[in-house]
Structure 1
Amino acid sequence: MKKKFGIKEVVAIGIGTALFVALTEVQIPIGIPNTYLQPRMAVFAFLAAVFGPIVGGVVGLLGHALGDLVFYGSVWWSWVIPEAVIGLGIGLIAKKLAIKEGGFDKKAIITFNVVQVLANAVAWILVAPALDILIYVEPANKVFIQGAYAALGNILIIGILGTLLAAGYAKIGAKSSSLSKED
């Protein structure tokens, strides 16, 4: 029976979380308070698409929480939890995308992007605003606007950079892996 979670996934969580935190301050303002284009989302989505829902969910949760702590001094949970939702959503289709096997073809690219759009919509248009209202008693009109812009920004970043990362890895990296299991 093949293991679904092993040392490669643990390493992916560690590296993914570190990259997520390190890229937290790489932000492009979009004119909405506390809402930015962030390249970390592409790296995060790529890892979820390669290693699955556990890696995606944990990297989203830990990466965002630690990034908030390191750079802002506290954790804004209503925006951390949606990252886990996105990681889980994208990760659920990892096998179908076959990125590790070098099979990230046109159909897989479309599937990846349809799923990331849906995951971002659920996370940022539903989950984040609802949690902002419930946890922090934020005004509804403010959080739904922020959520919509966060979704749109993430969709663009993942759609462009995430797709390029996945395609590049599938074409080059997946075929040249030097890691193998010893008997």
Structure 2
Amino acid sequence: MNKKLPIKTVVAIGIGSAIFVVLSRFASIPTGIPNTSLETSYAILALIALLYGPLAGFATGLIGHFLKDVLIFGSPWMSWILASAMIGLVIGLASKQISIEDGIFGVKELIKFNLTQIVANIIGWFIIAPTLDVLIYAEPADKVYLQGIVAGCVNMVSIGILGSLLVTTYAKTRIPKGSLMMED
């Protein structure tokens, strides 16, 4: 099966990854816990994942976080990179149930979006990142689970506020299907 990725999805991954890096560098707020910040970049990751689906969400999280680590810290931290990729994947999986392209993004869709991003952050930051930190890097469990919980909570807030605003605003720019009528 030779199924090619649409060009617009590839472009979205590239643009989303670049914006992820820029926001990570210039629009993140330290939490006081070492190497843990409130990241505005996850709002963009959520938007890309909802618009282009799970593969785009996964790739944007993977590439964006990888480039961020290399450019800002000098080397990639794979456990956190995989957590970001998984967050994009999980939110992208919800794109079938939350279609923002049809211009409808009400309270019901907002609740689905936020429940999905909370689950995605729990999987990524409470489970994947700290567990892989212990397994790959032999980091102390108490340190990395605290970092994971803090990162997950602040990213839930970031996506909950900024991501919700981005998605809602984007949906308002779309014309609902069936809303245009032909004149006689």
TM over 0.5: yes
Shift of residue 5 of structure 1?
Answer: 4.0
Q: What percentage of aligned pairs have identical amino acids?
A: 49
- Aligned partner of 2:130 in structure 1 is 129
Q: Distance in 2 between matches of 1:95 and 1:136?
A: 36
- Aligned partner of 2:31 in structure 1 is 30
Shift of residue 95 of structure 1?
Answer: 2.2
Deviation by residue 1:99-127 (Cα, 9 ceiling, x = unmatched)? 11212121111001001000100110110
**Structure 2 residue 128 is the aligned partner of structure 1 residue 97:** no
How large is the Cα RMSD of the aligned pairs? 1.5
Structure of greater Rg:
2
What SS class does the counterpart of residue 128 from structure 1 fall into? helix
Residues 23/104 of structure 1: CA separation in 2 closer, same or farther (3 Å cut): same
Structure 2 portions without partners, runs of 5+: 176-184
Aligned pairs (5 A) from 1:72-83: 72-83=73-84
Which runs of at least 4 in structure 1 moved beyond 4 Å after TM superposition?
Answer: none
TM-score, normalized by length of structure 2? 0.90
What SS class does the counterpart of residue 99 from structure 1 fall into? coil
Q: Distance in 2 between matches of 1:67 and 1:30?
A: 18
* Worse-matched range after superposition: 148-157 or 97-106: 97-106
Structure 1 portions without partners, runs of 5+: 176-183
Shift of residue 21 of structure 1?
Answer: 1.2
**Structure 2 residue 22 is the aligned partner of structure 1 residue 19:** no
Q: Distance in 2 between matches of 1:4 and 1:47?
A: 18
Deviation by residue 1:39-81 (Cα, 9 ceiling, x = unmatched)? 1111111111111100000000000001111111100001000
Aligned pairs (5 A) from 1:99-114: 99-114=100-115
What SS class does the counterpart of residue 136 from structure 2 fall into? helix
Deviation by residue 1:3-56 (Cα, 9 ceiling, x = unmatched)? 894121111111101111111212111111110001111111111111110000
- Aligned partner of 2:152 in structure 1 is 151
* Worse-matched range after superposition: 101-110 or 142-151: 101-110
What SS class does the counterpart of residue 93 from structure 1 fall into? helix
Q: Distance in 2 between matches of 1:132 and 1:17?
A: 23
- Aligned partner of 1:67 in structure 2 is 68
- Aligned partner of 1:8 in structure 2 is 8
What SS class does the counterpart of residue 31 from structure 1 fall into? coil
Equivalent residue pairs, number: 173
Shift of residue 86 of structure 1?
Answer: 0.3
Q: Distance in 2 between matches of 1:44 and 1:4?
A: 22
Q: Distance in 2 between matches of 1:77 and 1:9?
A: 24
